[in-house]
Amino acid sequence: MSFISNAGAPVGQPFAPVQIRTSGRDVVSAGTVITVDNRNLEFQIAHLKVVFSFVTDAGATRLGPGSASDSTLNLTLYNFNNSIGSGTTAPLDIGTLAGRKLSLSFMVYAISPESSKTVHYTFTLGEPA
């Protein structure tokens, strides 16, 4: 299979431009990470930090109330231990970056409460805040 691009740097060369948009939002970061353990995960975007804290209790899967400072958002993810995945159904508006609304979408997969987590994430920038 081959891919031919007539714009930008040749595929495989450094600095080949990739711009991704979805529903009028610019994707600024997206990927998958497997945690080392089942405790937490931190993202740093520019001066902003987002921390996922994974907690298991007797309740349902839910996103608990978070706390925030000027540069850190702490999100508690309760019972995100499902092997078929648990996550957001729509982007969460979590702040502003470069004067635009910053949103986060994610899915978390785990074999058990004690296992590491596989997290798919997407940070997007929308309209000016």
* pLDDT given for residue 13 in this prediction: 66
Return the residue matching tokens 């000016």.
Answer: 128
Which backbone phi and psi does 45 adopt, to 5 degrees?
-125, 115
Q: What is the pTM of this model?
A: 0.84
* pLDDT given for residue 4 in this prediction: 44
pLDDT in tens, 71-84: 999 999 999 999 99
Tell me the C-alpha distance between 55 and 42, whole Å.
15
Report yes or no: 36 and 116 within 8 Å, Cβ to Cβ: yes
Tell me the C-alpha distance between 5 and 25, whole Å.
23
Q: What residue ranges do the domains of the chain occupy?
A: 21-128
Position 88, amino acid: T
pLDDT at 3 over 60: no
pLDDT at 10 over 70: no
Sign of torsion, CA 13 125 32 48?
positive
Report yes or no: 98 and 70 within 8 Å, Cβ to Cβ: no
18: pLDDT confidence band, cut at 50, 70 and 90? confident
Burial of 95 (0-12, 13-18, 19+ CB in 10 A): middle
pLDDT in tens, 35-73: 999 999 999 999 999 999 999 999 999 999 888 888 999
